[in-house]
């Protein structure tokens, strides 16, 4: 239930209470107004007035969106954007045709469907493809230790492979991928390279999970503006874009620049773990040549404006949604030699001196506001302001064209294997999505949810670490990301919040390159019963530890220790010094 619907129901209940009081004072009206009366005309009148008063009350309590929207867009632009559909695709050679090493650039297109049914996706980061394939995976587990053996085969006719970083996708099973990432991070003892009957220990080639901030931990959404608050996108992606960070990077160049191959052009990578790794099937893990893709495409719409109104709804087809408004421009009438030089700029570019500009008469500012009506439809409205910052009541009658980036809602209905058409950069390759396309949803800052205040969000972003590093504050931070219409996902987020038993902050000092620096040792106590497995709890802890950098300055660091709330045992100790993101001034 959003805020509009809640206000409507409150006003309707109040009007019904007034009707019951009126029925008691006027018995001859009891058949129409008393509780239980079912006159449809009276009911429609009550609902109409409830709707009118709820809209009036909403305007009184709207907390000045003309201010908060601009501030949020300046602080964290993605707060105002929905989450578009994404998936993971895997590239492979066509038939028996093998290619040499190649790199697909960021933004390489892939498609689902053809003709009018075509839906385009683009890669979120560059993908380097080596002439390698994982042809076998073996798991050998004992009570003392476990080993995963990957057999890789080179498709080129060569006796040696020049090593390059290998980006492995840990699989489409979210919980299994999380468990593998945990064991690779904390339980890995040794990494071996076996070839030509020789086993070589790789001391400097330990895999690094993407959530630690490796090259694979990329900006899934197009970069708009980098700010300290961009790290918040990590939590959004963790919950709403599944699998995009389930990657590990293994680089054996430091140990072996050239790998001598067996007679069948194979070699083996062996990961030895301390303990018993309990996984039933690893045949769909450690996948090569995988990359996240997103569905965003350029779109446009036109609006006819005049002096009678200062805000207009952007007309969007029901199958399309706006992700980011890029530009507004006007058209020139065919009968005119020149059009008037009207300019429309985003409200973020407004200044108090705008009225002194030479073209102030033809200068207007616009602000995009997103809201949901009571039927949960998303509406996009453009509000116009003049050079004095006042609502523009003198807009010239003309047609304005909106250029924006958007997505098609039907993209979220695509299943596994339906993204199967490579684009221009992937000639000689075939492609297929190995995970379902994620559901698109609207951002936390644009939903009219009950109890969510834009002012409280803005003030929360400016608190000191002594306030942010508290149990209640951490729970409130994660609660900001619970904006999904999917009840199962919302339940999962709430379980993660309930699993936070306590957060303690201990001031510490360390030496960084011989210079003493101040920092914070965070002790996070979690209840394991609130997480699906240890892997999920580890991923959640790692995301939280990286988010905590938001509240400290660049000259200060944070470290985190995670404790089992049931046994008191230290589960993981993130000893890496993560420096803050806030500028000193």
Instruction: Categorize the per-residue pLDDT at 96 as very low, low, confident or very high, splitting at 50, 70 and 90.
Output: low
pLDDT above 60 (res 444): no
Which of 46, 61, 76 is at the close of a domain?
Answer: 61
Please check whether residue 345 lies inside any domain of the structure: yes
Q: Which residue has the higher pLDDT, 6 or 124?
A: 124
**CA separation for the pair 264, 280 (Å, rounded):** 29
- Helix, strand, or coil (residue 102): strand
Q: Are residues 180 and 134 in the same domain?
A: yes
Q: Which of 73, 90, 52 is nearest to 172 (CA)?
A: 90
**What are the phi and psi torsion angles at 193 (to 5°)?**
-115, 120
Please check whether residue 212 lies inside any domain of the structure: yes
pLDDT confidence of residue 287: 95
The burial of 267, by beta-carbon neighbours within 10 Å (0-12 exposed, 13-18 middle, 19 or more buried), is given as buried
Spell out the long-range contacts of 130-134 with Cβ–Cβ below 8 A and sequence spacing 24 or more. Answer: 130/101, 130/161, 130/164, 130/166, 130/288, 131/98, 131/99, 131/100, 131/101, 131/155, 131/156, 132/161, 132/166, 132/288, 133/92, 133/288, 134/286, 134/287, 134/288
**CA separation for the pair 191, 130 (Å, rounded):** 21
pLDDT above 60 (res 433): yes
Degrees, nearest 5: CA angle 81-418-181 = 65
Please check whether residue 558 lies inside any domain of the structure: yes
H or E segment and range at residue 201 = strand 198-201
Neighbours of 422 (CB within 10 A): 21
pLDDT confidence of residue 375: 65
The burial of 420, by beta-carbon neighbours within 10 Å (0-12 exposed, 13-18 middle, 19 or more buried), is given as middle
Instruction: Categorize the per-residue pLDDT at 174 as very low, low, confident or very high, splitting at 50, 70 and 90.
Output: very high
> Looking at the 3D structure of the chain, how many domains does it have?
4
List alpha helices for 141-191, DSSP H: 174-182
Largest CA distance in the chain: 100
Q: Are residues 214 and 332 in the same domain?
A: no
3-state secondary structure 417-482: CCCCEECHHHCCEEEEECCCCCCCECCCCCCCECCCCHHHHHHHCCCCHHHHCCHHHHHHHHHCCC
The full DSSP string for 284-333 is T-SBSSEEEEE--EEEEEEEEE-TT-SEEE----TTEEEEEEEEEEEPPP
**What are the phi and psi torsion angles at 584 (to 5°)?**
-65, -30
Lowest mean pLDDT among 24-33, 259-268, 513-522: 24-33
Neighbours of 455 (CB within 10 A): 12
Instruction: Categorize the per-residue pLDDT at 72 as very low, low, confident or very high, splitting at 50, 70 and 90.
Output: confident
Instruction: Categorize the per-residue pLDDT at 4 as very low, low, confident or very high, splitting at 50, 70 and 90.
Output: confident
Beta bridge partners of 137: 150
Q: Are residues 16 and 115 in the same domain?
A: no
Query: In this structure, are residues 549 and 579 in contact, taking their beta carbons and an 8 Å threshold?
Result: yes
Beta bridge partners of 292: 88
Please check whether residue 157 lies inside any domain of the structure: yes
Task: Express each pLDDT in 481-491 by its tens digit.
Answer: 888 878 899 99
Residues 6+ apart with CB under 8 A from 448: 2, 3, 4, 371, 372
Q: Are residues 176 and 321 in the same domain?
A: no
What is the distance of C-alpha 191 from the center of its chain?
Answer: 33
Please check whether residue 78 lies inside any domain of the structure: no
**CA separation for the pair 33, 46 (Å, rounded):** 10
Mean pLDDT value of segment 322-331: 87
pLDDT confidence of residue 134: 94
Instruction: Categorize the per-residue pLDDT at 216 as very low, low, confident or very high, splitting at 50, 70 and 90.
Output: very low
- Helix, strand, or coil (residue 282): coil
Query: In this structure, are residues 225 and 426 in contact, taking their beta carbons and an 8 Å threshold?
Result: no
pLDDT above 50 (res 164): yes
Q: Are residues 379 and 419 in the same domain?
A: no
pLDDT confidence of residue 161: 92
pLDDT confidence of residue 447: 46
Q: Are residues 217 and 204 in the same domain?
A: yes
Degrees, nearest 5: CA angle 496-502-506 = 130
Q: Which of 584, 583, 578 is nearest to 213 (CA)?
A: 578
Residues 6+ apart with CB under 8 A from 198: none
Mean pLDDT value of segment 441-467: 71
Lowest mean pLDDT among 19-33, 380-394, 549-563: 19-33
Instruction: Categorize the per-residue pLDDT at 540 as very low, low, confident or very high, splitting at 50, 70 and 90.
Output: very high
Which of 61, 78, 107 is at the close of a domain?
Answer: 61
- Helix, strand, or coil (residue 182): helix
Which range marks the domain in which residue 47 is found? 3-61
Please check whether residue 353 lies inside any domain of the structure: yes
Q: Are residues 212 and 277 in the same domain?
A: yes
pLDDT confidence of residue 376: 66
Please check whether residue 57 lies inside any domain of the structure: yes
Spell out the long-range contacts of 560-564 with Cβ–Cβ below 8 A and sequence spacing 24 or more. Answer: 560/521, 560/522, 560/523, 560/524, 561/521, 561/522, 561/523, 561/524, 562/524, 562/525, 562/526, 562/537, 562/538, 563/523, 563/524, 563/525, 563/526, 564/525, 564/526, 564/528
Q: Are residues 327 and 283 in the same domain?
A: no
pLDDT above 70 (res 334): no
pLDDT confidence of residue 21: 85
Instruction: Categorize the per-residue pLDDT at 82 as very low, low, confident or very high, splitting at 50, 70 and 90.
Output: confident
pLDDT above 60 (res 101): yes
DSSP 36: T
The full DSSP string for 239-261 is HHSTTTT-EEEE--TTT-SEEE-
pLDDT above 90 (res 384): yes
Task: Express each pLDDT in 388-422 by its tens digit.
Answer: 888 998 888 888 999 999 999 999 999 999 999 99
Q: Which of 438, 405, 408, 409 is nearest to 89 (CA)?
A: 438
Q: Are residues 225 and 338 in the same domain?
A: no
- Helix, strand, or coil (residue 171): coil
**Mean pLDDT, the chain, integer:** 87
H or E segment and range at residue 162 = strand 160-162
H or E segment and range at residue 22 = helix 3-25
Q: What percent of the chain has pLDDT over 70?
A: 92
Give me the numbers of helices (H) and strands (E) for the chain, helices first please: 11, 29
**CA separation for the pair 209, 178 (Å, rounded):** 10
Please check whether residue 199 lies inside any domain of the structure: yes
pLDDT confidence of residue 39: 79
Query: In this structure, are residues 482 and 495 in contact, taking their beta carbons and an 8 Å threshold?
Result: no
Q: Are strands 515-526 and 557-564 parallel, antiparallel or unpaired?
A: parallel
Query: What's the alpha-carbon Rg for the chain, to the nearest Å?
Result: 29
H or E segment and range at residue 55 = helix 40-60
H or E segment and range at residue 343 = strand 343-346
Q: Are residues 471 and 547 in the same domain?
A: yes
Q: Are residues 212 and 255 in the same domain?
A: yes
Mean pLDDT value of segment 162-167: 91
pLDDT above 60 (res 449): no
Beta bridge partners of 54: none
Q: Are residues 161 and 233 in the same domain?
A: yes
């Amino acid at each position: 239930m959003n805020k509009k619907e809640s206000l409507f129901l409150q006003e309707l209940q109040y009007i019904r209470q007034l009707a019951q009081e009126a029925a008691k004072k006027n018995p001859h009206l009891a058949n129409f107004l008393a509780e239980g009366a079912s006159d449809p005309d009276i009911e429609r009148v009550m609902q109409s007035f409830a709707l009118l008063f709820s809209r009036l009350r909403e305007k009184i309590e709207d907390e000045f969106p003309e201010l908060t929207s601009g501030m949020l867009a300046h602080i964290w632009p993605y707060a105002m954007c929905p989450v578009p559909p994404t998936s993971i695709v895997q590239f492979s050679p066509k038939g028996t045709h093998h290619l040499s090493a190649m790199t697909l650039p960021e933004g390489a297109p892939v498609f689902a469907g053809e003709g009018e049914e075509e839906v385009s996706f683009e890669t979120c980061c560059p993908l380097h493809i080596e002439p390698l394939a994982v042809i076998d995976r073996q798991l050998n587990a004992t009570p003392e230790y476990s080993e995963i053996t990957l057999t890789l085969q080179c498709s080129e006719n060569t006796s040696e492979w020049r090593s390059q970083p290998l980006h492995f996708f840990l699989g489409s099973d979210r919980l299994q991928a999380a468990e593998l990432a945990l064991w690779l991070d904390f339980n890995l003892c040794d990494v071996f390279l076996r070839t030509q009957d020789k086993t070589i220990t790789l001391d400097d080639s330990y895999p690094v999970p993407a959530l630690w901030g490796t090259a694979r931990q990329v900006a899934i959404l197009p970069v708009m503006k980098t700010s300290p608050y961009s790290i918040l996108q990590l939590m959004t992606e963790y919950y709403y874009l599944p699998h995009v960070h389930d990657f590990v990077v293994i680089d054996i160049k430091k140990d072996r620049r050239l790998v001598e191959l067996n007679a069948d052009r194979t070699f083996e990578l062996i990961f030895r773990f301390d303990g018993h790794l309990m996984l039933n099937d690893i045949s769909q893990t450690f996948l090569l040549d995988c990359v996240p893709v997103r569905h965003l495409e350029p779109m446009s719409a036109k609006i006819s404006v005049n002096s009678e109104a200062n805000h207009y709804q952007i007309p969007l087809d029901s199958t399309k949604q706006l992700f980011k408004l890029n530009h507004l421009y006007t058209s020139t009438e065919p009968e005119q030699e020149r059009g008037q030089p009207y300019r429309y700029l985003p409200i973020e570019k407004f200044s108090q001196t705008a009225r002194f500009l030479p073209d102030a008469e033809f200068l207007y500012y616009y602000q995009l506001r997103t809201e949901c009506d009571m039927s949960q439809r998303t509406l996009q409205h453009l509000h116009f302001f003049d050079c004095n910052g006042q609502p523009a009541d003198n807009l010239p009658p003309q047609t304005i064209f909106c250029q924006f980036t958007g997505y098609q809602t039907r993209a979220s209905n695509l299943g596994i294997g339906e993204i199967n058409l490579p684009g221009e950069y992937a000639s000689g390759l075939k492609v297929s999505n190995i995970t379902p396309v994620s559901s698109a949803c609207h951002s936390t800052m644009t939903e009219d949810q009950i109890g969510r205040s834009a002012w409280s969000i803005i003030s929360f972003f400016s608190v000191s670490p002594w306030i942010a590093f508290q149990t209640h504050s951490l729970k409130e931070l994660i609660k900001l990301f619970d904006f999904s219409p999917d009840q199962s996902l919302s339940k999962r987020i709430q379980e993660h919040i309930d699993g936070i038993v306590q957060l303690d902050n201990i001031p510490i000092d360390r030496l960084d390159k011989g210079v003493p620096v101040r920092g914070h040792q965070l002790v996070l106590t979690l209840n394991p019963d609130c997480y699906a497995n240890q892997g999920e709890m580890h991923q959640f802890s790692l995301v939280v530890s990286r988010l905590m950098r938001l509240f400290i300055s660049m000259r200060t660091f944070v470290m985190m220790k995670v404790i089992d709330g049931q046994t008191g045992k230290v589960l993981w100790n993130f000893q890496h010094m993560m420096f803050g993101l806030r500028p000193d001034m």
